[in-house]
Structure formats: C-alpha cells, structure tokens
Chain A
Amino acid sequence: QVTLRESGPGLVKPTQTLTLTCTFSGFSLKTSGMCVAWVRQPPGKALEWLALIDWEGDKYYSTSLKTRLTISKDTSKNQVVLTMINMDSVDTGTYYCARRDVVAMTDAFDVWGPGTNVTVSS
C-alpha cells in the first residue's frame, strides 16, 4: 500500500524559511519512473503545483516560485524535503505531497498525502 504523509512546523513568521518533509512508504524513489511532487492550496483558492523530484534526482520547479524553492530527497529514509525561503502571508495554505510514476500505467499524481497546514503570521 502506497502512503505519503507531510510534516512541518504549522506556523512560520514572515521572512522565515519553511521546511516540509514528505515521508512515504510502499514505493522507492530509487525505482525508475518514480517521482514525488509538492502541491499547495491557499484557503479558498486553487491547487498550485510547486516542485517535483524524480528517481534520478532531477528537479523541476514552478516558474513563478523557483527562486524560493529547493526540493531534495533522502532515499534511505524514504523522504522528500521542500524548503521555501522568505515566507509571506500569501504562502498560507495546505501543502500536499503526491506520487507520480511516469513509466507506469497510471502516469498521474495517483496517491496524495493528507496535507499539512502552514500559516504565515507574526
């Protein structure tokens, strides 16, 4: 069974750096085709794709946020970490990690974590 779970601080102050961890099970990021992405949703707003890392360690970032984001993986711990610098109130929302297998029959974000809420406030 594939599961993902996000964890993070819950509350960060403006200008601080946010670090989120996605811990997953049921698959390995060493496996060809496997990817993990981060997606967020501000309150009352649309889903927004942030970043993705693949099995080879290649990284992809949202054009609008790439200067603030870093995605990395620790395959030994089955974790993917997202850092976002210079946090602002507009970054408040729910942050999800999701799996994608680009060589599988289902090439889509097929399994999602429950999400973690992030509030940016002083």
Chain B
Amino acid sequence: SNELTQPPSVSVSPGQTARIACSGDALPKKFVDWYQVKSGQAPVLVIYEDIKRPSGIPERFSGSSSGTMATLTISGAQVADEGDYYCSSPDSDGNQWLFGGGTKLTVL
C-alpha cells in the first residue's frame, strides 16, 4: 500500500534515547527521509537516504532502516528536540512522495 505508518507520540526524559518508527511496504526499495516540524515553523530535514545527516544537524540524530521499517533515533534527547517528526519516502512507482502521519516527540 502507499502509506507510511508512524506512532502518534513518543515520550522520553531528557538525556534518554528516543526512537521513532516508520513502516511502509515500499521501504525495502526506497530511501526514507525524516523531517522535524516545530510549532509555527517550516519543516527541517534531519535525516535523508535512511542514514545520512545534513550539515548542521546534531550528531545525536541518526537513522536506520531494515526491511519495511525505518527508525529515527535521537540519542540523549533534549527539550529543544520536542516537536513533530515525519518520515517521507517515494511511493513504490516513484511518481509521488508520501509522508507519514507524524510522531509528536515530548521530552520532559
């Protein structure tokens, strides 16, 4: 199916590791990107092509992918990392791009 599924919310204490999952049937053949959206702000790319980190993104952000599941990991999560996180990937035909339903990360 042409869908990406994420948990609605993840909550961790400061300094703990946050993991946000994204599942989709096409993921074994397609790269996943991750975007951070803070309230009232435009999305920011934090991980692309499953595991790569753009310049300027802290090293505590990392990505992985296996089979139909991709995971965004935030090691030593900070209060500043709170926000909504979206996975994104092309559909199986590569003719449109999908976003997951988003995961609200709470760090407190």
Contacts and interface: CB of A to CB of B under 8 A. Distances in A.
Contacts of A49: 88, 96-99
Instruction: Tell me what chain A mostly uses at the interface: helix, strand, loop, or mixed.
Output: strand
A109 B96 contact: no
| Interface size bracket, A side | 20 to 34
B49 A107 contact: yes
Contact of A112 (B33, B43, B102): B43
A85 B35 CA distance: 28
Contact of A47 (B2, B31, B43): B43
Interface string A7-38: 00000000000000000000000000000010
A113 B33 contact: no
17 contacts: A39-B43, A39-B99, A47-B37, A49-B96, A52-B97, A60-B95, A98-B43, A106-B45, A106-B52, A106-B54, A108-B54, A110-B45, A110-B48, A110-B54, A112-B42, A112-B43, A115-B42
Interface of A: 37, 39, 41, 46-49, 52, 60-63, 96, 98, 106-110, 112-115
